[in-house]
Structure formats: C-alpha cells, structure tokens
Amino acid sequence: MRDAEKKIWLREALARECARLRAAGRIIVFTNGAFDLMHAGHATYLEFARQQGDVLVVGLNTDASVRRYKGEKRPIVAEPYRARMLAALECVDYVTLFDEDEPKALIAELQPDVLVKAEDWAHYVSGRDVVEARGGKVVLAPMVQGLSTTQLIEKIIQAYGAGK
C-alpha cells in the first residue's frame, strides 16, 4: 500500500484513532467537502486548515452525497480518486468518507477540537454546535477568489464545449 493510501480510513476506525490522538494531547482539526477537480484554492484552504492544529482530518462527501447537493452531473472525479488526491497532500493527515448530506454525525463521532469551513459558509456551519459544546472552536477560512470547481467546469465548457 502506498503511503498516501494509508491516510484513508473508515470512519469507525478513525473515531478510535482521534480519541487516541486527543488523549495524547493533539489538537484535531476537521474540515469537509467534495473536493472535486482539485485546484489551488483547495490546496490553500487545506493548508490553512492544517495550521489550526496538530492533525487534519478531511471528511469527503461520497459520490452519492455530492450528486444530491451538486446535481446528477457531479462529481466529475469519483470518490476513490478524490480521496487519493487528498491523501497525497502533505497537509492532510486522514481522509474518511461520509454519505450523509451534512457531516454533523461524522463530526460527533470524531469529536474534533477545531472545525474549519470556508468563509462562504459563515451563515451555516454543520457541526458547529457539537464542536463548541465540548469547548472547541470554528474557524472560517479565507476564500481564494476566482477559483472554484464550478468556475473551472464552466471555463472548460466554454473552451472545449460542444462544437468547438
């Protein structure tokens, strides 16, 4: 097994690992998303998240959950490949999949100390109540303007769409 693949965990096992890390005094940071068509905005966001503690756990939406909130044409990249890309990043310590529409149950299982979301989610951070109830904090990450998966898809369609 490649080193990056060792970072991809089933959520039950990861919950036990987080408990072990927390008992050892490590600050666990959690973030989540689809991370479809990885780009520099994702890398900047994940590096920011990692700076908020000792261990960065990324909850990755399954293909089914991405389709439910992004539509039937998404994701572009299937979940095993999205997980592999995330795991290859030095700033990411663990990756786990979740199929729910929101990561709140996963957050409750992992009990992170810090929850990071992009600032465009300031109006609603799923799991905020769980993290803050145990004395943890929510940190909003700055956005890299002009970089989003949706914008990349639109640019590709404009450049290479039907008839071009």
pLDDT per residue as tens digits for the range 109-137: 999 999 999 988 788 999 999 999 999 99
Asked whether 29 and 50 are in contact (CB, 8 A), the reply is: yes
Report how far Cα 69 is from the mean position of its chain's Cα atoms: 15
Rounded Cα–Cα distance for residues 97 and 134 (Å) = 23
- 119: domain CATH number? 3.40.50.620
pTM here?
0.92
Distance separating alpha carbons of residues 35 and 61, to the nearest angstrom: 8
Q: Give CA–CA dist 135/113, Å, rounded.
A: 8
Give the pLDDT confidence of 42-65 residue by residue, as tens digits: 999 999 999 999 999 999 999 999
Q: Please give the DSSP secondary-structure letter assigned to residue 103.
A: S
Q: How many domains does the chain have?
A: 1
Evaluate if residue 162 carries a pLDDT over 80. no
Task: Note the pLDDT tens digit of each residue in 25-46.
Answer: 999 999 999 999 899 999 999 9
Alpha carbon distances (Å) from 150 to 41, 67, 73, 113, 114 = 12, 14, 11, 30, 27
Residue 108 to residues 40, 49, 115, 140, 142, Cα–Cα distance (Å)? 29, 19, 11, 19, 25
pLDDT, averaged across the chain: 93
Residue 116's domain spans which residues?
A: 4-160
